[in-house]
Amino acid sequence: MKIIKETPITMVELKQEVEKIKKKEKEPNLRIQKTEEYLNLFVHLKPEGEKELKEKINKLDIPRLKEEHINKIIDILPVDIEDLKTLLQGYTITVSKENMQKLIEVMNDIAKKK
């Protein structure tokens, strides 16, 4: 097997892929079952909400914020700047306080619609 391309995805997108696999296979393996259990516990957005959130974050045009960062933000859905700082500490990225505030505002806007 050869990996052609790696693309980061959100847990919402992964949940959709797991659903496709379950439809194909009559009895999904243990790994798929455990993944589905985990996703059911931690995924709180619907696919439409995830797409809307991703579009809004991309429109903010925050410097150095890459797709992998955006996906992780969508997965975790931080509710305040401290949560967002904690999340971004795992990456070598610096985001200004103003841009963090914009991200939190977008997050809270989507959370109200849930």
Residues 9-65: pLDDT tens digits? 999 999 999 999 999 988 889 999 999 999 999 998 899 999 999 999 999 999 999
Domain annotation covers residue 1: no
Give percent of the chain above pLDDT 90.
77
CA angle 90, 14, 37 (to 5 degrees): 95
> Which contacts (CB < 8 Å, 24+ apart) does range 33-39 have?
39/11, 39/14, 39/15
Query: What integer is the mean pLDDT of 56-82?
Result: 94
| pTM (two decimals) | 0.86
The closest alpha carbon to 10, from 60, 54, 75, belongs to 75
Do residues 69 and 31 both lie within one domain? no
Q: Considering the chain, what is the average pLDDT of its residues?
A: 91
Domain annotation covers residue 81: yes
- What is the domain range of residue 33? 11-42
Do residues 59 and 104 both lie within one domain? yes
**Cβ 71 vs Cβ 10: under 8 Å:** yes
Do residues 24 and 71 both lie within one domain? no
* Number of domains into which the chain is organized: 2
Do residues 106 and 75 both lie within one domain? yes
Do residues 17 and 38 both lie within one domain? yes
